[in-house]
Structure 1
Amino acid sequence: MPVKGNSTVLFEHSFYIGSYMGGIMYGFEITIYFMIIRALFRRGNKNSSRSRRFSAIYSTVMVLLNTIDVSTNAFWGEDMWITYRDKPGGVSQFITTEVSVWYETWGSAAVVGSVFLGDALLIYRLFLVYGRRSVVVVFPIIAYIAGLVLAIQQLVVAGKPDGDFFGLDSIKFAVSYYSITITLNIVLTVFICMRLSTMSKWFTNTLGKENGKVYSTAAAMLVESAAPYSILGLMYLIPFSRQDGIGILFGQLWSKMSGIAPLLIILRVVNGRAWSDDKTEHIRTPLTFRKDDDFVLANAVPTAPTNANGPSPPPVPAQLQIPPEIP
């Protein structure tokens, strides 16, 4: 039995459903990937060559890692239900003896790579939205390193010739690793959302409602901070820690979301819709006004313009064009 207290049938159903739903999510990821590539090579893209190169390489690596995950799960399922169907012990024996076969360990390593590449990007987004303050990312980096060490230990224990991904030794490291990385994502999500909400108000007051509302919407904040990834992580961690067979379903969905969430952020960056240093600088820099009501950004102490009727600053144009991010 791969999981305590549940039948092999529950595990099989969960693995089957998770594989199909994971395949759909993988297709969604491929779609996002080609949207990114198209945006990067679109005429008029204002991102720097360094930014475009990083976005293309990062996105490609994430897709390759999830391709390995999808492929190894598909091959393992084929062996479980077709190749070994009539062998002694059947499916139950196959799960017990082949759960840590080399290609499944390879797939698990690909998921770990995807998770920690995604975490690294999220930490960098936190660093950006808090104005590149190093003190903000000290704790996340420590948690990141601790989670990575535990993940490697879990892969070593589960990938040994006599290893078992669902064994107690493996679960001991896995639960700790999942707990740290999922908690890290939740904390990063909360702090990024808080910052975006606050900065959106400042942005609206400084540059107009039309420019600020992009960051005040729930959808923008959730995509920017990868909240769906954190939610699926919790849905996976709870049943997995209880050795519940349904955990494998949410595990497959969480692993696919580990690739989708960072690509959604990259897509917003290449389209110039993610939070950037430029936007922070616009907010920090006070506004002054010319007589013709055109505004300019100036490094000066803000003063209220005066006219014949007393202090009354002219309205800021609502449709200010914001320069795209250059990471």
Structure 2
Amino acid sequence: MADALSQFEHSIYIGSYMSGILYGINLVMYFLTLQGLLRKTNHNSPKSRRFFAIYSTILLLLITIDVAVNAVWGELMWIEGRNGPGGVPGFIATQTAAWYQTMGSTAVVIMIFMGDALLLYRLFVIYGSKYIVIAFPVLAYLAGLSLAIIELVIAGKPGGNFFHGKSINFGTPYYTITISLNIIITLLIVSRLLKLGKAVSRALGRDSAKMYTSVAAMLVESAAPYSAVGVMFLIPYAMGNPIAISFGQVWAKIACLAPQLIVLRVVTGRAWGREVITQAQSNVEFLSNGRPVVHASGIELQSHGTTTLGDAATEKWNSSTKSLGSS
């Protein structure tokens, strides 16, 4: 019992410190996003700019609630509750389902599903607005949301605990579905970007295409770190190991940071949007032997087998990459 309590406290302490670092990074990303939205050179539509501003602000408010709740709970547990009935163990046993803890957990769930909704939309855009691609992910999204609501209700009842009892019975399938959904979307987006990246590299040249085809760009677009940390959290959580709390706190912050990074890329004109994807699909097609086909849009076939864009096509491509308001 003493070892489990010690692991629990260490996990909360470490998770809180990591959360503070990630919260600071998210603040920087948020203000960079607002700065990008306010620039005169921003080519997103007014409607898109409003959406990105509201979306980012809601994410910031939710992560602030989560960080503040954890800070208050830690202070009450280690300082105020130390001399209370039962000491720290007594505080943990009676205050895990406190109303403000439930509020913090609710804020995290909303963040997770806001981030997943953005990932689903990005998947839809990157696959050329094909509804069939997002049909199964949407069903998984709705199933995870239903389980999350049930878990919140059970954990919020007197004596409830997010990491013990009946909560785990619903929490484990909820997190499994949600994290599996993240992994599936990540793999689908990465595979699509790798395919389109070859077309973009041939059309623009490797150096000019790095903005879209670099490893960092693909990691951000696919929210790969979000999926990876989710797996790190799910395994100890399903086993009932207290260290899950540390990974859970980090995962919750990345659930906010991952979509914020995607929004920042869209705002700064560096994300894959409908226009860029359309250009990649229409300007360059690959035959079975990997050689490109010449189109009337301005792509010229060089004698050594590579392609370059003509001046008109280059101007068209560059202008299209700036018009990402619909992404």
Helix, strand or coil: the match of 1:84?
helix
2:80 matched residue in structure 1: 83
Please say which of residues 146-155 and 9-18 is displaced more in the overlay.
Answer: 9-18
2:226 matched residue in structure 1: 229
2:266 matched residue in structure 1: 269
Q: For residues 183 and 305 of structure 1, do their structure 2 counterparts lie closer, same or farther at Cα, with a shift above 3 Å needed?
A: closer
Q: Alpha-carbon deviation of 1:49?
A: 0.5
Identity %: 48
The answer as to 2:258 corresponding to 1:250 is: no
Larger Rg: 1
Q: In structure 1, how many angstroms separate the alpha carbons of the residues matched to 2:305 and 2:238?
A: 62
The answer as to 2:200 corresponding to 1:207 is: no
The answer as to 2:163 corresponding to 1:170 is: no
1:103 matched residue in structure 2: 100
Q: Of the candidates 316, 321, 326, which is equivalent to residue 309 of structure 2?
A: 316
Q: Alpha-carbon deviation of 1:302?
A: 8.8
2:298 touches 2:310 (CA, 8 Å); kept in 1?
no
Helix, strand or coil: the match of 2:83?
coil
5+ unaligned residues in a row in structure 1: which ranges? 288-297
2:8 touches 2:242 (CA, 8 Å); kept in 1?
yes
- Write out per-residue CA displacement over residues 235-255 of structure 1, whole angstroms, 9 at most, x where no aligned residue: 111111111111111111000
Q: What pairs up with 1:53-72 in 2 under 5 angstroms?
A: 53-72=50-69
Q: In structure 1, how many angstroms separate the alpha carbons of the residues matched to 2:244 and 2:82?
A: 23
Q: Of the candidates 110, 113, 117, which is equivalent to residue 114 of structure 2?
A: 117
Q: In structure 2, how many angstroms separate the alpha carbons of the residues matched to 1:109 and 1:269?
A: 28
1:197 touches 1:215 (CA, 8 Å); kept in 2?
no
Q: For residues 304 and 204 of structure 1, do their structure 2 counterparts lie closer, same or farther at Cα, with a shift above 3 Å needed?
A: closer
5+ unaligned residues in a row in structure 2: which ranges? 285-293
Over aligned residue pairs, what C-alpha RMSD do you find?
2.5
1:304 touches 1:311 (CA, 8 Å); kept in 2?
no
Q: Alpha-carbon deviation of 1:203?
A: 1.4
The answer as to 2:133 corresponding to 1:140 is: no
Instruction: Look up the equivalent residue of 1:247 and give its one-letter code.
Output: A
2:16 matched residue in structure 1: 19
Q: In structure 1, how many angstroms separate the alpha carbons of the residues matched to 2:12 and 2:24?
A: 18
Helix, strand or coil: the match of 1:285?
helix
Q: Of the candidates 146, 152, 155, which is equivalent to residue 152 of structure 2?
A: 155
Q: In structure 2, how many angstroms separate the alpha carbons of the residues matched to 1:181 and 1:10?
A: 26
Q: In structure 1, how many angstroms separate the alpha carbons of the residues matched to 2:308 and 2:238?
A: 57
1:239 matched residue in structure 2: 236
Q: For residues 326 and 239 of structure 1, do their structure 2 counterparts lie closer, same or farther at Cα, with a shift above 3 Å needed?
A: same
Q: For residues 144 and 79 of structure 1, do their structure 2 counterparts lie closer, same or farther at Cα, with a shift above 3 Å needed?
A: same
Q: In structure 1, how many angstroms separate the alpha carbons of the residues matched to 2:3 and 2:230?
A: 21
- Write out per-residue CA displacement over residues 273-320 of structure 1, whole angstroms, 9 at most, x where no aligned residue: 000111122123348xxxxxxxxxx995999789xxx99998426976
Q: What pairs up with 1:21-36 in 2 under 5 angstroms?
A: 21-36=18-33
Q: Alpha-carbon deviation of 1:97?
A: 1.2
2:290 matched residue in structure 1: none
2:199 touches 2:280 (CA, 8 Å); kept in 1?
yes
Helix, strand or coil: the match of 2:211?
helix
Q: In structure 2, how many angstroms separate the alpha carbons of the residues matched to 1:151 and 1:109?
A: 9
2:289 matched residue in structure 1: none
Count of matched residue pairs: 311
1:326 matched residue in structure 2: 325
The answer as to 2:180 corresponding to 1:183 is: yes
Please say which of residues 6-15 and 269-278 is displaced more in the overlay.
Answer: 6-15
- Write out per-residue CA displacement over residues 62-109 of structure 1, whole angstroms, 9 at most, x where no aligned residue: 010000100111111111011111112111111111111110000000
Helix, strand or coil: the match of 2:129?
coil
Please say which of residues 16-25 and 164-173 is displaced more in the overlay.
Answer: 164-173
Q: In structure 1, how many angstroms separate the alpha carbons of the residues matched to 2:213 and 2:305?
A: 27
Q: In structure 1, how many angstroms separate the alpha carbons of the residues matched to 2:325 and 2:158?
A: 47
2:111 touches 2:256 (CA, 8 Å); kept in 1?
yes
Instruction: Look up the equivalent residue of 1:154 and give its one-letter code.
Output: E
Instruction: Look up the equivalent residue of 2:82 and give its one-letter code.
Output: R
TM-score (norm 2): 0.89
1:201 touches 1:212 (CA, 8 Å); kept in 2?
no
2:96 touches 2:161 (CA, 8 Å); kept in 1?
yes
- Write out per-residue CA displacement over residues 15-42 of structure 1, whole angstroms, 9 at most, x where no aligned residue: 0111011011001101100000000001
- Quick check: which one's helix share is greater? 2
Q: For residues 57 and 142 of structure 1, do their structure 2 counterparts lie closer, same or farther at Cα, with a shift above 3 Å needed?
A: same
Helix, strand or coil: the match of 2:236?
helix
